[in-house]
């Protein structure tokens, strides 16, 4: 089944790319802050949207709870 084959192939590729960051992700927040790749990948932290571009796109306020304008 072709979709299953592509899904499996994509999953393997993504896993291979992310495995190098596993120890830093598991190490916690301080480790994330010290790694530019992990830090840039974080969109939501502790329930708060940290990417301003997401808030602008969704027409939301910068202050939590990010109400819709």
Q: Is residue 36 part of a domain?
A: yes
Residue 15 lies in a domain: yes
Which residues on adjacent β-strands are paired with residue 49? 44
**Domain total in the chain:** 1
Answer yes or no: is 23 within a domain.
yes
Rounded to two decimals, what is the model's pTM? Answer: 0.70
> Tens digit of pLDDT per residue, the chain (69 long)?
678 888 889 899 999 999 999 999 999 999 999 999 999 999 999 999 999 999 999 999 999 999 998
Q: Domain range holding 19?
A: 2-41
The verdict on residue 55 lying in a domain is no
Tell which residue, 61, 63, 42, has the closest CA to residue 51.
42
Which residue is it, tokens 């602008």?
56
Half-sphere CA count of 58, side-chain side, radius 13 A: 12
- For residue 69, is it within any domain? no
Question: Quick check: is 18 in a domain?
Answer: yes
**Quick check: is 8 in a domain?**
yes
SS3 68: strand
């Amino acid at each position: 089944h072709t979709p299953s084959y592509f899904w499996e192939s994509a999953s393997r590729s993504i896993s291979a790319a992310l495995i190098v960051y596993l120890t830093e992700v598991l190490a916690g927040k301080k480790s994330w802050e010290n790694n530019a790749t992990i830090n840039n990948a974080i969109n939501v932290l502790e329930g708060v949207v940290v990417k301003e571009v997401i808030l602008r796109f969704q027409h939301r306020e910068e202050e939590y709870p990010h109400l819709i304008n």
